[in-house]
Amino acid sequence: MATLTAGRWRPKAAVLPALRYLQRPAQLVRGYERANLRADLIAGLTVGVVLLPQAIAFSLLAQLPPQMGLYTAVVGGIAAALWGSSEQLHSGPTNTISLLVFSTLAVSIIPGSDQYILAAGMLALMAGVLQLGLGLLRLGFIVNFVSHSVIVGFGTAAGVLILVRQIDPLLGLSLPKANVLSGLVNSALAVPQTHLLTAAIGLGSMAIILLLRRLNPRWPGALIALLVATAAVALLGDRAEGVAVIGAIGGGLPRPVSLPVLNLQLISDLSTGALAVAAIGLVQTTAVSRSLASQTHQRLDNNQEFVGQGIANVLSGLFGGYATSGSFTISAVKFRAGARTRLASIVAALVVLLVMLVAGPIGEYMPVSAIAAALIVTAYNMLDKAEIRRILRGAPGDAIIMVVTFLGTLFLNLDFAVLLGILLSFVLYVMRTSAPRVQVVVPDADFRHFLHRPDAPSCPQLGIVEIQGDLYFGAVNHIEEAILHNAAAHPEQRFLLIRMHHVNQIDFSGIHMLESLVQTYRDRGGDLFLVRVAPGALRLMQTTGCLSYLGDDNILDEDEAIQRIFRHILDPAVCIYECPVRVFKECQNLPKRFDLITPPLLGHPVLPSLPVVAPRDLWQTLRSAPPDARPTVLDVREPREFRRSHIAEAQSVPLSTLLAGGLALSADRPVVLVCQTGRRSRRAAAVLRDLGFNDVTLLDGGMQAWEAAGLLTAVEFT
């Protein structure tokens, strides 16, 4: 895109990527290695032999003259090779695009008419302009959002349509076909009217194709069958009367065609079909190129491939052809023939051109039923039964998209069916990204990884959730509801740790959601912590003020997060006296005395209003007051905590000792209770009140506040 630097617009930065895409032919010439020449020539000859009958067959499928299919194979094949990205992909007329062209045009234009032929060229031109624009604007990534199920559903239905529509040419019938069902019924009822010689030639051609494929899949079965059928018609002479033939293949070299580019009404009528042709062509091309690249390990450029397909369609339309795309079958032949580079596709196109110029009159004897036989075999191979079963057994969303696209292709206009399938793909994508998984996780048995284990016990103080998706406007409501639902199900969990290693993007709606969750947990008397925040998300949190609201200390290192929260945030009294489980590694060595409190006090307030003393005030009192006026400081933490760090004047009286009645102290002395954060001190105060102690004060903030104030502590070594 254009850039603005120091107040100056730099158009060069916007133009250079487009120029790079358009310079692809020069890269092929400069970078070609002569060591690949022999392999490319042999592969090109092989592909040309196979491509010739397919080009004729697919043009007839689109109800177009045979030379249009040949021009498409020549012009489209050369252009796509020169400007494309994949070394193994071959582009030309295909069955799916041919069927889509026929479905788009036949609705309003009589097939075979001059207007029909010109409209086919316009359709290719319009689709090519769309594809070229997407490539030059570097929007090649959009093809990733079209579900594979659309291609499978459309390809399967296209195969069924081709099978049904080629039954009549195969048997020498001519019947109306409103839809698939009526076509099958009409063909079945008209079987007694079959032209026997036409059927014999068609079925014989089909038998030859299948037999040769079984003997050696590398042999061009369709071409051999077509030549045999053509020779048979020529030898029969007048006895072949009634056998439909395609007629002479004329036209000579491809030459420019005057298309009605200013006919706005035609452009409007073809716009939906052009969009469908462009979309299905790009998706099909990308699928083929990726499949081949997985075997050759070539790095592909979707934008360059979009440019190549766009230029191929534009030139094909301008030079007497129709729409083109990457071909599954021809690309596979090219790959198996040992092609090294895109030069093999250029050689194949030149072979088709040479045969077209030399052997054009042979079409006078080429039977349509033989072409129908080749199309029926090709259509049957389009029915990928294994892939259909995999999708049906997989995710329901993909299966629905495949079925809807399949049924739409069979019973609706093909262009509408394709766009409907693509729309459903986008809907499925939005649904999946707007409802990412938000799952509660706990450590595994080795305390090395966090796993979603619904049956495992959870910590009564700390919840840990993992967000498996981005925090953007479409997903924040779902994520927030899931977290709040978990909070409602565990009201005693005052603290929440969110693992964000699957959150790659966050927007302002995500910022608001995080701030809302922070406020929710702080209102509960707890807090919220984050780990593995992506750099981009962290920058947005900084610039929007969210990080200062949350606090830098609440962004934790993943390896130390649990230990820090356990040591400095959670209340050990809950762990020792009220929690019967050991969720974290840090819990394993804690004593469990939850039997001393009946019923458990977890989640219940304990003496909400008690006097407190600030750490520095207590320190000053202990240093300056006379000994008999100093309060008794009782540290109610566990002995191991006391030994690690305590106030020098404090006595260790664990809460469990108080609960067991193990305190020998005069009730008329003032007492200051100390624990880690203040929670256990409040419980100890409740016990002392029951024992008759009236002058009880709490150290505000516990030992955390004492140490934060920089006051000295004592340490015991054992």
The domains located in the chain, with CATH, are: 32-428 (no CATH), 437-570 (3.30.750.24), 612-708 (3.40.250.10)
What confidence tens digit (pLDDT) does each residue in 690-704 have? 888 889 999 988 888
Q: Which two tokens stand for residue 182?
A: 């009526």
3-state secondary structure 632-663: EEEECCCHHHHHHCECCCCEECCHHHHHCCCC
Distance, CA of 488 to CA of 15 (rounded, Å): 56
Is 675 annotated in the active site? yes
**For the whole model, what pTM was predicted?**
0.62
> DSSP 3-state assignment of 569?
coil
- Which has more pLDDT, 623 or 15? 623
Q: Residue 435: is it exposed, middle or buried by C-beta count within 10 angstroms (0-12/13-18/19+)?
A: middle
Q: Which two tokens stand for residue 22?
A: 């358009």
Band of residue 283 on the pLDDT scale cut at 50, 70, 90: confident
Band of residue 177 on the pLDDT scale cut at 50, 70, 90: low
Band of residue 21 on the pLDDT scale cut at 50, 70, 90: confident
Measure the CA dihedral 550/553/557/563, to 10°. Answer: -110
Closest of 663, 674, 664 to residue 631, by C-alpha:
674
Tell me what pLDDT residue 596 has: 53
Q: Which of 459, 575, 579, 675 is catalytic?
A: 675
Lowest mean pLDDT among 111-115, 495-499, 589-593, 711-715: 589-593
What confidence tens digit (pLDDT) does each residue in 464-496 have? 999 988 888 888 899 999 999 988 888 778 899
Q: Is the pLDDT of residue 676 over 70?
A: yes
